[in-house]
Structure 1
């Protein structure tokens, strides 16, 4: 499989954001002392070589696992999602997830050498889907790009921008020096930022401008979520992608950055168009379920690269209404 033809495409021009917009996304910056100490540490990490960062990530991830930080959550998730795996296998997957998270954090601190060596020569798994995305973007239309907390989703977004796909990232406002650095890196890479409040309309507007929207679809939300199967269990999931797709008619592509040593290989599937409207059919949930299933297929292949530390199934689906109660209401 050859490298994508757009690997040499120029990066999209940076999206100019007002300082007020950036503050809304990153929240309040840390205090002077905290900011000074954090920047001191981050500056040291930023100067590490790729190999040194990898060694540090393996040490820190392994240490966090041994200390048991959220380990019970990770192992419980794995026991229910992958009961066919042995206990030893589940522990190995959990430890790998900690190392993955450590890599993400350390790479977020780096100002240079952020991308894997030779990323521009990397192959794409799902060539037809990638070519379909290229053709779609070449017409001046935006695309819906869906990913997960997998591999390094931040670097994947940067790779897509450098391959000529202009992005707006749907983000949550988070506090702290690290999250400020992450938000600034997103803007520096050329990504626009979409705040959760009013996100569907901002997404529709961005697609109308011919810009693609990059969103993570693997975290539970407490309200207004749709429940779709994920590893055999119903999981509360944001409907924002499906609603935007239905309003615009623009399909979704699932993109995942799979680590293979020092390399990151892009896995892509799509287009996944919105289902046609049909009376009595919940097309929003159906579309969300199809995209979530595509995410699951990649996670099953490389489970140690997903964030099992998150309580993905924290919110239970509503209990089905009993015939007796529905009849009482009808009367």
Structure 2
């Protein structure tokens, strides 16, 4: 009961923060950066190790510059995500927009459903909100549930308030079968880390063997959906564009792991382009192929 009460209080506080204008939230972000980078050193060792392994060809100074830019952006990402709790449709449209929506329109006109791969890159929460009212067709966002039930429901409500259907990862195949007769646009995060017993496939990603989920590939073949990558770019503080990049149009004709390799390599190219916008503080490489028995 106490934990639920604290969760309610925390959610209410986040809602109140979300009502603040962007300029105030960015002042908070500037202060937050100092706290997490200089005072607490939040996961700096994790970030440094990840950058060292991902970019062995870069100098220490180059990696340090990326690290500092990353933490500056992480602070912005936190306050922007809080803003999404109460941001209006008009606010979201103003801050993130598609560069080539005709790609989606053309596939829908052909009667094809779409699976969009995304990464923990730039503000995926903001892009997800924008996705919610991009089309009148069914929009599905696959998410990983939080351990705190109250906050899990809180964020489901936030992410689905513009019409998206939220589906937990474990229920994805069931949902895809349920909606197989509808033209839909489903979004799945391509860089989630499998738990050890689900690590069935490794590929080279950022210069190291990396366990990846095969869910996008399996679902694309199951539903014969076009696979695209949602390439997000930060224009300036608080403003983003996203571009739909077709990867595979006929999934049932692909070789095993071809779809997986395509979206992994595209994400890698995005990260190398502007590495400070990926989630480096995540413990992405928890185990190696030799750890799997």
* TM-score using structure 1 length: 0.76
In structure 1, the residue matched to 2:263 is 291
Q: Secondary structure at the match of 2:245?
A: strand
Q: Indicate the residue corresponding to 1:212 in structure 2.
A: 185
Name 1:72's counterpart in structure 2: 45
Structure 2, unmatched stretches of 5+, are: none
Contact 1:116 1:263 in 2 (8 A): no
Q: Which residue of 1 aligns with 2:5?
A: 33
Task: Show the counterpart of 2:207.
Answer: 232
In structure 2, the CA distance between the partners of 1:207 and 1:231, relative to structure 1 (3 Å rule), is farther
1:303 partnered with 2:275 = yes
More divergent stretch after superposition (241-250 vs 221-230):
221-230
State whether structure 2 residue 116 is matched by structure 1 residue 153: no
Task: Give 1:181 shift.
Answer: 3.1
| Segment of structure 1 superposing worse, 180-189 or 36-45 | 36-45
Q: Which runs of 5+ in 1 are unaligned?
A: 1-28, 322-331
| Distance change >3 Å, CA 255–CA 200, structure 1 → 2 | same
State the alpha-carbon separation in 2 of the partners of residues 116 and 92 from structure 1: 30
Q: 1:87 deviation in Å? A: 1.8
Among 143, 151, 154, the alignment partner of 2:114 is 143
- How far, CA to CA, are the matches of 1:204 and 1:95 in structure 2? 44
Distance 1:243 1:78, change over 3 A: same
- Specify whether residues 245 and 30 from structure 1 end up closer, same or farther in structure 2 by C-alpha distance, changes over 3 A only: farther
Q: Does 1:170 align with 2:145?
A: no
Cα drift, residue 179 of structure 1: 4.3
Q: CA deviation at 1:320?
A: 11
Q: Which residue of 2 aligns with 1:270?
A: 246
Cα-to-partner distance string for 1:201-229 (whole Å, 9 max, x where unaligned): 32343353212111101122122442122
Structure 1 contact 49–113 (Cα < 8 Å) conserved = no
Q: Distance in 2 between matches of 1:42 and 1:123?
A: 28
Structure ID, larger Rg? 1
Q: What is the RMSD computed on CA atoms of the aligned residues?
A: 2.8
5 Å matches for 1:62-211?
Answer: 62-66=34-38, 67-110=40-83, 111-112=86-87, 115=91, 118-119=94-95, 122=97, 124=99, 127=100, 130-164=101-135, 166-176=138-148, 178-211=151-184
Mean CA deviation greater in 214-223 or 236-245: 214-223
Classify 1:225/1:53 alpha carbon distance in 2 versus 1 (closer, same or farther; 3 Å): farther
Give the drift of 1:319. Answer: 7.9
Are 1:257 and 2:232 matched, yes or no? yes
- Distance in 1 separating the partners of 2:112 and 2:160: 21
